[in-house]
Chain A
C-alpha cells in the first residue's frame, strides 16, 4: 500500500460570487522513497493540492469539499486542526518557492531551526536543539555553519536560504516532503546544486518527495512518477519514463511539444497551446482541455466528465473520446504509433 494516498480530493474556495472548485476529484499515490512530480500551468491547482495535503488552506475561504488524504493509514481531512500539528513536520513537511518569504527576517536562522525542535520535542534542551540545528546546516551543505547559524536571512544568498528552508523542513525527519517550486526562483547552476542536495538527502532518509513544478526538465531529472494537472483535474498519471516517451493526453503532449529544446532548429516556429486555462467560475463539467486541443469536440464531450482510464500498467489518462481520436489522427499522421483502442 502506498504511504500517501490522495483519493478523489476536491477543494473549493468561498468567494463573493459563490463557491468555486479549485481542484476537482484529484487522485494519486505516493510510494515510500519515490519522487512524484506534480506538473501543470499556473492555475491548474498544483499549489491548492499541496495546501490541502498540509491542511494549510487559506482560512476561512478554503475548504476540502470531499475526498480523502490518507497518510500512513490515517485520513487527515477530517482531523481536528490541533492534531495536524503532530502530522506536520514529522510525517509531512513542506518547502516553499520563495525562501525569503518563508523565513522570518527578524530571527536568526539558528533560532528558526531550533524552534522546530523545541515545538516538536518539548522535553528537548535548548543546547541539544542548537547542536541538532548545527548538524542540519552541515547536512544541507552550508559552509561555516557555526558562523552562519547566528546570521539573519538577508545575509544569505538565495541558494543558501533555500538550503536553510530545506534544513528546517527536514529537521524532524518527515516521511513525505512537499517541495513547491523549490528552484524556480534560483539560477540554473544553483538549481543544479539544490536538486543534487535533495536527491542525496532522499537517498539517506528514504523519504518520499512530492515535487511541484512547471519545469518539465526538472521533472525528467528528479521524478519517478508524474501527475499532470489541468484546470483542477488530473489529466494524466504515469511513471516518468512512460509519460515522456508516450504522452497520451493531448495536454501533456502539447506541453512537451512546446518547450524549446537545445536540438530544435533555431528560429523555427515553436509549437504552442492556443488560448488559456478557462476561469474557475466557468469550468465545464466535461472535457476541460477540449477548446484548446484543436481537435473537434462533440457537444456531449463538454457535458459528461471523462473517466480515468488505465491504458497501460500504472498509466492513467483522463479519457475523452474526442481528444483521443484527434490525438490518434495527429500521431499517425506523423508516423508515430498509437496503440490504445478508442
Chain B
C-alpha cells in the first residue's frame, strides 16, 4: 500500500459505552467501557487487521463503525462525511459502500430464504436494476465467489460452513462496496476451508479494490491478510503499525505476549513464552493507569497511575509505528 492512497475511513477518539441498569428502580449503576477512545484510519484498498482477546472491544468497534450502535463520543468519518450522528435514512445511501461479513455463517443467513433471495436483497433494497437484471447479477456473484449456479434456488442449510461464508461474501460484495467489515470471518471454519475463504477474500480485494477491516483473534491469519494491524486491549488500541513490523518488532508487552502465545505448527521449535497471568479485567471498572498493568510482566509504579498515550516510534525506515506503553522499545533487554 502506498502512502498516497486516499483515506477512506477515519475514526477519531471513538467511545462506545453501554449503560448497566440495576437495583429496584433500574437506575444506571455503571457502564461498560467497550470501546474507550480509539483512533484509526483505513485507506482505500487496504486491509486493516484488528486483533485482541475476547472482550477487548474489537467487534463493538466494528459495529460502531457500521453505525449499528450510536457512539457515545468521538467521530466516524467515511469518505469525508461525518456519519457519527446520521439518521438511518441519511445512512442508507452510504450503506452501499459499507458492508459487513459476520463470523457465524449459520446465524447470519435467513434460513427461510433461498440463497438467490439472500444475495439479491441488498440489490432490491437499493433499487438496482429490474428483476431480470438482478437475477443475472446474482448468478454472476455466485460464480464469482465460487458457488455453482444451482445454489440460487437452494436454502442455507444445504450448504457447509465454508460455502455459507461464500454466500455471506456474495451478499456483502453485491453492491460493490468500498469497505467491508469482516467480523471473525474464518474463525468458525476448518483450516483447509479457512485458506479457501481467505484466498477468495484476497482475490476479490485485488479485483474490486476493496478495503477490509479484518477482525480476528488468530494472529497468524491476521498477519497473512493485513497491510496494517491494530492490537486492542480493554477498549483501547495499544499498538498500531504495518503487519510486518508488528510481528518482527512488537513494542507493547501485550503484543509480545500475544505473539509468543501462538502455538507454532512445528514440534522442533521451542518458543520462549511470555505467560500472562489471569484474565482480561472487567471493562466495567478498567484498571487505573495503563489498563494492562494488572497482567504486565514488566509493571512499575508509574504504570499503575499514569495513562500511557499512543505515541509514534521510529523503528525501521520511517514506517509509522504507534504504541501506548511507558517503556515501549526498552523492554528487550
Binding site for B on A (CB under 8 A): 41-42, 143, 157-160, 187-193, 195-196, 214-221, 223, 240-241, 244-245, 254-256, 258-262, 264, 266-274, 276
What are 17 A-to-B residue pairs whose CB atoms are below 8 Å?
A: A41-B190, A157-B279, A188-B217, A188-B219, A191-B261, A195-B263, A214-B191, A217-B263, A244-B266, A244-B267, A244-B268, A255-B192, A258-B191, A258-B195, A260-B195, A266-B226, A272-B192
Smallest CB gap from B244: residue in A: A266
- The minimal Cβ–Cβ distance linking A29 to chain B, given in whole angstroms, is 19
Q: Is there an interface contact between A266 and B275, defined as CB atoms closer than 8 Å?
A: no
Smallest CB gap from A186: residue in B: B54
Binding site for A on B (CB under 8 A): 53-54, 160-162, 190-196, 198-199, 202, 217, 219-221, 223-226, 243-244, 247, 257-259, 261-269, 273, 275-280
Contact of B195 among A195, A221, A270 (CB under 8 A): A270
CA distance A159 to B263 in the complex (A): 17
Q: Is there an interface contact between B275 and A192, defined as CB atoms closer than 8 Å?
A: yes
Smallest CB gap from A193: residue in B: B275
- The minimal Cβ–Cβ distance linking B20 to chain A, given in whole angstroms, is 16
- Interfacial chain B residues near A269, Cβ < 8 Å: 199, 202
Given A188-B261, A220-B264, A276-B193, residue A259 in contact with residue B220 (CB < 8 A) = yes
Q: Which of A159, A272, A273 has the most CB of B within 10 A?
A: A272
Contact of B224 among A143, A188, A241, A260 (CB under 8 A): A260
- List 4 other contacts, CB 8 Å, given A196-B273, A267-B225: A190-B279, A220-B264, A269-B202, A276-B162
Q: Is there an interface contact between A272 and B190, defined as CB atoms closer than 8 Å?
A: no
- The minimal Cβ–Cβ distance linking A224 to chain B, given in whole angstroms, is 9
Given A160-B279, A187-B53, residue A260 in contact with residue B268 (CB < 8 A) = no
Q: Is there an interface contact between B265 and A187, defined as CB atoms closer than 8 Å?
A: no
CA distance A264 to B220 in the complex (A): 9
- Interfacial chain B residues near A217, Cβ < 8 Å: 262-265
Q: Is there an interface contact between B191 and A259, defined as CB atoms closer than 8 Å?
A: yes
Given A189-B257, A262-B262, residue A274 in contact with residue B191 (CB < 8 A) = no
CA distance A274 to B280 in the complex (A): 38
- The minimal Cβ–Cβ distance linking A182 to chain B, given in whole angstroms, is 13
Q: Is there an interface contact between B243 and A262, defined as CB atoms closer than 8 Å?
A: no
- Interfacial chain B residues near A190, Cβ < 8 Å: 53, 279
Q: Is there an interface contact between A42 and B224, defined as CB atoms closer than 8 Å?
A: no
Smallest CB gap from B242: residue in A: A266
Given A188-B217, A272-B196, residue A259 in contact with residue B202 (CB < 8 A) = no
Q: Is there an interface contact between B264 and A266, defined as CB atoms closer than 8 Å?
A: no
Name the 8 nearest CB pairs between A and B, nearest first. A217-B263, A273-B192, A270-B195, A187-B53, A260-B224, A41-B190, A192-B261, A188-B261
Q: Is there an interface contact between B54 and A187, defined as CB atoms closer than 8 Å?
A: yes
Q: Is there an interface contact between A220 and B192, defined as CB atoms closer than 8 Å?
A: no
Contact of A274 among B196, B257, B267, B279 (CB under 8 A): B196
CA distance A272 to B192 in the complex (A): 6
Q: Is there an interface contact between A261 and B220, defined as CB atoms closer than 8 Å?
A: yes
CA distance A207 to B158 in the complex (A): 43
Q: Is there an interface contact between B191 and A188, defined as CB atoms closer than 8 Å?
A: no
Contact of B160 among A218, A220, A223, A276 (CB under 8 A): A276
- The minimal Cβ–Cβ distance linking B157 to chain A, given in whole angstroms, is 14
- Interfacial chain A residues near B259, Cβ < 8 Å: 262
CA distance A191 to B219 in the complex (A): 14
Given A188-B219, A220-B263, A260-B223, residue A271 in contact with residue B162 (CB < 8 A) = no
Smallest CB gap from B224: residue in A: A260
- The minimal Cβ–Cβ distance linking B24 to chain A, given in whole angstroms, is 22
Given A188-B258, A190-B279, A216-B265, residue A266 in contact with residue B243 (CB < 8 A) = yes
- Interfacial chain B residues near A274, Cβ < 8 Å: 196
- The minimal Cβ–Cβ distance linking A59 to chain B, given in whole angstroms, is 25
CA distance A283 to B194 in the complex (A): 23
CA distance A159 to B194 in the complex (A): 25
CA distance A62 to B293 in the complex (A): 51
Q: Which of B190, B258, B264 has the most CB of A within 10 A?
A: B190
- The minimal Cβ–Cβ distance linking A39 to chain B, given in whole angstroms, is 10
Q: Is there an interface contact between B258 and A272, defined as CB atoms closer than 8 Å?
A: no
Q: Is there an interface contact between A266 and B191, defined as CB atoms closer than 8 Å?
A: no
Q: Is there an interface contact between B162 and A189, defined as CB atoms closer than 8 Å?
A: no
Q: Is there an interface contact between A267 and B202, defined as CB atoms closer than 8 Å?
A: yes
Contact of A262 among B193, B223, B278 (CB under 8 A): B223
